Amino acid sequence: MKHISIIVMLCFGLVLSACSSSSQSGPKDSGTGEPQDLVMALGSEPVSLDPQDATDGISYDATELMYDKLVTFDKDMKLVPQLAKEWKTSDDGLKVTFTLNQGAKFHDGASLNADAVKASFDRIMNKDNKLGRFALYTEFLDKVVVDSEYQVTFQLKFPYVPALANFAHPSGAIVNAKAAKEKGENFSKSPVGSGPYQFKEWVSGDKVVLTANTGYWGEKPKLKSITIKAVKENAARALMLETGEAGVIAPVPATDIERLKGDNKLTVTTYPSNRNLYIGINTQKAPFNDVKVRQALNYAVDKDTIVKKILLGQAQVSQSAISERTSGYSPAGAYPYDPEKAKSLLTEAGVKPGTTIKLWTPEGRYLMDRQIAEFVQANLEAVGLKVEFQKWEWGAYTKAYRDPNSGLELFLVSWAVPSNDADGGLRPLFMTKGTNNYTVFSNKTIDDLLDKGMKTVNNDERKKIYADTLKAIKDQAPWIFLVEMKQPVGVRKNVEGVTSLNTELVDLRTAVKK
């Protein structure tokens, strides 16, 4: 028996030794000074890793790590240098000249110089490439001229106030145009940029993995890798933060914010946002082609309850089609909750009680999105409509609501303004030929105002033009205007250097895990 006991003890010791050895071979603990792996869990996965074609915020969370721009926004939304060390605008406002930092390279080793900058912008401005952000630059840019190896000039069609802000837009990222041409459609899933992190793999429906670009020309990355996980279930995302499986999550579910704040291993920070959450209306489809019906839908929805009961204060009722944090904003006023007014307008428009309409929503992409859509469904049914409700996976949803032939009628979505300017917040959505005009909205008065606003330099005149535009958009009601969002971000306390911009970009470029 004594011999057996000794053998058992020896075996137990070997097991403990193996466990100890195994734990030491895993991720290093704080104090090692070695770069760590970081997981960030978001509500959905990117749609594209090509910044010139992406139009959603989740994609930009990834592309901002892999690409550099000429200029960028800091955490206070001030323009700061990135690839460009300096720039100047000509007296007539028709030329912007950038002097580049030297030594920047793409992840495949190619030089990032003035020729590369021109090639990148020529790519996005080529309509044959059919890139999602084509109009963001072609509306105001005439051509790009290489002055020298490290100096490039952008010639504008007219003086355009937010030009620099548009260069700081995530779609202003400098892509390796040669690699993009060679890869074709595969570039969106196998990108080549110049940022502090480079692409490793994309497991569809699960994760995007980036690794440190150790040869980065700027401030060196402080993490070994960043994995962006798609976790649409609110409870699962919160649990990952609590257990340490994820170092960062966004958004933090509204129902979990106070509980997570009580965990001394975590911090939850609610950042301001210029994102508006709304329900788009297919304005070309009956009965929504009648403005009275669109206005009725707005009167039918109780926005205050959405803010107080569903989002638990993590938002405010929208007063305009752009956020109060966006340059050029003025309040147009919210539609009050008035179900009787809604019923009256529906009757005037000839909409019979029991008329069936369709409402679509994603789940997990936005803070409490499904719950908000279900509440709106109940509001609309309370004024006599029958609402067919459908949840979508984010990737499929983005294709469906952008296709006017998909059968869409009402669809919950949002719009942030990465350029932080009213032109970028309104023209793509409400111009008749706007690239993001998913409501198929058309109004000549608004078209004229948007064109005038884009070409006006005087700030007071611009603000007046956009005030008139926002009032006209409210009256025409191509949306059910809902709320201006906030961005609650959860971070483990051993992770530092994480912030979120007004645009809801979760910035990990300087993040470090200890």
The ranges assigned to domains in the chain are 273-486
Q: How confident is the model at residue 114 (pLDDT cuts 50, 70, 90)?
A: very high
d(CA 313, CA 462): 32
Note the pTM of the prediction, 2 decimals: 0.88
Whose CA is closest to 201, among 50, 9, 57, 49? 49
**Maximum distance among all alpha carbons in the chain?**
97
| CATH number of the structural domain 273-486 | 3.10.105.10
The predicted pLDDT at position 384 comes to 98
Residue 107 backbone class (left: φ over 0; alpha: ψ -120 to 50; beta: rest): alpha
- Going by C-alpha positions, the residue among 152, 155, 130 that lies closest to residue 140 is 155
The pLDDT mean for the chain works out to: 92
Is the Cβ–Cβ distance between 125 and 134 less than 8 Å?
A: yes
Give residue 8's pLDDT: 34
pLDDT digits (tens, 9 = 90+) for 404-456: 789 999 999 999 999 999 999 999 999 999 999 999 999 999 999 999 999 99
Q: Work out the number of other CB atoms within 10 angstroms of the CB of residue 218.
A: 16
User: For the CA atoms of the chain, what is the radius of gyration?
Assistant: 25
Asked whether residue 299 carries a pLDDT value surpassing 90, the answer given is yes
Res 32: pLDDT? 58
> Among 287, 323, 492, which Cα is nearest to 416's?
323
- Among 100, 263, 214, smallest CA distance to 167 is for 100
pLDDT score of 83: 98
- If you average pLDDT over residues 308-318, what whole number do you get? 96
Please give the Cα distance from 109 to 410 (Å, whole number).
47
> When comparing pLDDT for 404 and 331, which is higher?
331
Distance between CA atoms of residues 252 and 258, nearest Å: 10
Distances (CA, A) of 458 to 136, 180, 419, 452, 454: 21, 39, 18, 11, 11
Non-local CB neighbours of 259 within 8 Å, separated by 6+ positions:
none
Q: Stretch 195-201: mean pLDDT, rounded?
A: 98
Does the pLDDT at position 2 exceed 90?
no
pLDDT at position 31 over 60: no
Strand 386-392 and strand 356-362: the pairing is parallel
Helices 459-476, 444-454: crossing angle, 10 deg rounding: 160
**The predicted structure's pLDDT at residue 19:** 37
Q: What CA–CA distance (Å, rounded) separates 250 from 237?
A: 8
Helix (H) or strand (E) holding 492: strand 479-492
CA pair distance 479, 467, nearest whole angstrom: 17
- pLDDT value of position 454: 96
Question: Does the pLDDT value for residue 10 go beyond 50?
Answer: no
Output the six-digit token pair for 61. Answer: 């969370």
Among residues of the chain, what percentage have pLDDT more than 90?
91
pLDDT 10s digits, 251-289? 999 999 999 999 999 999 999 999 999 999 999 999 999
Bridge partners of 266, per DSSP, are 492
Task: Provide, rounded to the nearest whole percent, the portion of the chain with pLDDT above 70.
Answer: 94
- Say how far apart CA 232 and CA 388 lie, in whole Å: 22
Which helix (H) or strand (E) element contains residue 245?
A: none
pLDDT(35) > 90: no
Mean pLDDT across the stretch 500-506? 92
Lowest mean pLDDT of 3-17, 115-129, 216-230, 334-348, name the range. 3-17
